[in-house]
């Protein structure tokens, strides 16, 4: 299955599961799905910044080769161009939610502990378990 096919099916499952606004968790789970599909290739979580309408904030997205996948962008813009991505902070007034960045750091450090933590909403945990069961 190609990365685009995995992404499209995942977006549909998020919509059906009522998880359109899953924030950071959507891209983390997408990365895990890509890792499970060997034919997708090497998947990498990338943290950087986005600019939307003149406002900048910290953000995480998934890259497979030269292709960028972003669940948040997909739901916010419907797949149309709208986010500008940067690896370096574009301005000094860039916003960053400390709780979200701390969750990302925990995921990078120990993803198993991350998914067990109380900070992840139960609805997201249940959705993840359902998706992973369907894969195996």
What residue segments make up the domains of the chain, in order of their start? 3-124
Tens digit of each residue's pLDDT (9 = 90 or more) over 95-125: 778 899 999 999 999 999 999 999 999 999 9
The reply to whether the predicted model has a pTM over 0.85 is: yes
Tens of pLDDT, residue by residue over 37-84, are 877 778 899 999 988 878 888 999 999 988 999 998 888 877 666 788
pLDDT for 31 beyond 70: yes
Instruction: Collect all residues with Cβ–Cβ distance below 8 Å to 74 and sequence separation of at least 6.
Output: 7, 11
Quote the CA–CA distance of 33 and 135 in Å, as a whole number: 9
């Amino acid at each position: 299955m190609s990365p685009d096919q995995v992404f499209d099916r995942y977006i549909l499952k998020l919509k059906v599961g009522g998880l359109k606004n899953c924030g950071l968790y959507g891209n983390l789970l997408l990365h895990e799905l890509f890792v499970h599909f060997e034919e997708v290739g090497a998947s990498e979580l990338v943290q950087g910044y986005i600019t939307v309408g003149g406002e900048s904030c910290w953000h995480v997205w998934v890259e497979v080769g030269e292709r960028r996948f972003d669940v948040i962008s997909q739901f916010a813009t419907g797949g149309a161009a709208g986010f500008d991505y940067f690896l370096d902070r574009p301005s000094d007034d860039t916003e960053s939610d400390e709780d979200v960045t701390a969750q990302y750091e925990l995921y990078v450090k120990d993803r198993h502990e991350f998914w067990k933590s109380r900070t992840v909403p139960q609805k997201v945990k249940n959705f993840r378990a359902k998706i992973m069961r369907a894969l195996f």
